[in-house]
Amino acid sequence: MRFGVVVFPGSNCDIDCYHAAKAILGQPTDYVWHETSDLSSYDCIVLPGGFSYGDYLRPGAIARFAPAMQAVAEAAGRGQLVLGICNGFQILLEAGLLPGAMRRNDHLQFRCETRHLRLENNTTPFTHLGERGQILRLPIAHADGNYYIDELGLAELKRNNQIVLRYCDAEGQPTASANPNGALENIAGIVNRRGNVFGLMPHPERALEKITGGTDGQLVWTSILKWWEGNHA
Partner 1 sequence: MLKHYLEPQDRHSAQQMGLKELEWELVLEKLGRTPNLTELGMFAVMWSEHCSYKHSKLALRQFPTTGPRVLVGPGENAGVIDIGDGQAVVFKIESHNHPSAIEPYQGAATGVGGIVRDVFAMGARPIALLNSLRFGELDSAHQRHLFSGVVSGISGYGNCLGIPTVGGEVYFNQSYTGNCLVNAMCVGTISQDKLARGKAAGLGNRVLLIGALTGRDGIHGATFASEELSESSSTKRPMVQVGDPFMEKLLIEACLELVDRRVIVGMQDLGAAGLTSASSEMAARAGTGVEIDVARVPRREQNMSPYEVMLSESQERMLLVVEPERVREVLEICTRWGLAATDIGLVTDTGAVRVFDGDEIVAEVPAQALASAAPVYNPTLQVPWWQSEAQHLDLDALPLPQDLNQVLLVLLSSPTIASKEWVYRQYDHQVRGDTVVLPGSDAAVLRIKGTSKGLAISVDCNSRYVYLDPFRGGAIAVAEAARNVAVSGAEPLAVTNCLNFGNPEKPEIFYQFHQAIAGMAEACRALETPVTGGNVSLYNETNGKAIYPTPTVGMVGLLRDVNKRVTLSFKQIGDVILQLGTTMEELGGSEYLKVIHQRECGMPPGLDLKRERALQQLLVAAAQAQLLSSAHDCSEGGLAVALCESAFPLGFGADVTLENVNQIRLDALLFGESQSRVVATTAPSSFAALQDLCEQHNVPCREIGRVSRDTVVVRVGSTTVIDLPTQDLARAWKGAIPCLMSQ
Partner 2 sequence: MYKAKIWVTLRQGILDPAGQAVQKGLHSQGFVGVRDVRMGKFMELVLDVTSEREAAGLVRETCERLLVNPVMEDYTFTLEAHV
- Contacting residue, 47, 82, 83, 149, with partner 2 by CB under 8 A: 149
Q: Does 185 bind partner 2 (CB under 8 A)?
A: no
Count of residues that bind partner 2 according to CB under 8 A? 20
- Closest to 220 in 3D by CA, of 97, 44, 74, 60: 44
Residue from the set 64, 116, 166, 206 that interacts with partner 1 by CB under 8 A: 206
Decide which of partner 2, partner 1, none touches 105; Cβ closer than 5 to 8 Å per partner kind.
partner 2
Q: Which is nearer to partner 1, 108 or 233 (CB)?
A: 108
**How far apart (Å, rounded) are the C-alpha atoms in residues 156 and 129?**
25
CB distance 62 to 56 below 8 Å: yes
Q: Is 16 in the site for partner 1 (CB under 8 A)?
A: yes
The item of partner 1, partner 2, none sharing an interface with residue 15, based on CB under 5 to 8 Å by kind, is: partner 1
Residue number, 125 or 142, with CB nearest to partner 1? 142
Give the Cα separation of 159 and 127 in Å (integer).
19
Chain-centroid distance of CA 54 in Å reads 19
Q: Which residues pair with 159 in a beta bridge?
A: none
Could you say whether residue 50 binds partner 1 (CB under 8 A)?
yes
Q: Does 10 bind partner 1 (CB under 8 A)?
A: yes
On whether the CB atoms of residues 7 and 31 are closer than 8 A, the answer is: yes
Per CB under 8 A, which region of 91-99, 119-127, 157-165, 200-208 contacts partner 1? 200-208
15 binds partner 2 (CB under 8 A): no
Per-residue CA distances from 10 to 33, 66, 85, 111, 148 (Å): 12, 13, 14, 19, 24
Q: What is the DSSP string of 77-122?
A: HHT-EEEEETHHHHHHHHTTSSSSEEE--TT-S-EEEEEEEEE---
SS3 15: helix
Rule CB under 8 A: is residue 115 a binding residue for partner 1?
A: no
103 binds, among partner 1, partner 2, none (CB under 5 to 8 A by kind): partner 2
State the Cα–Cα distance between residues 33 and 68, nearest whole angstrom. 8
Site of interaction with partner 1 (CB under 8 A): 9-13, 15-16, 19, 49-51, 53-56, 109-113, 139, 141, 143, 203, 205-206, 211-213
Site of interaction with partner 2 (CB under 8 A): 57-58, 61-62, 65, 93-94, 100-101, 103-108, 146, 148-150, 182
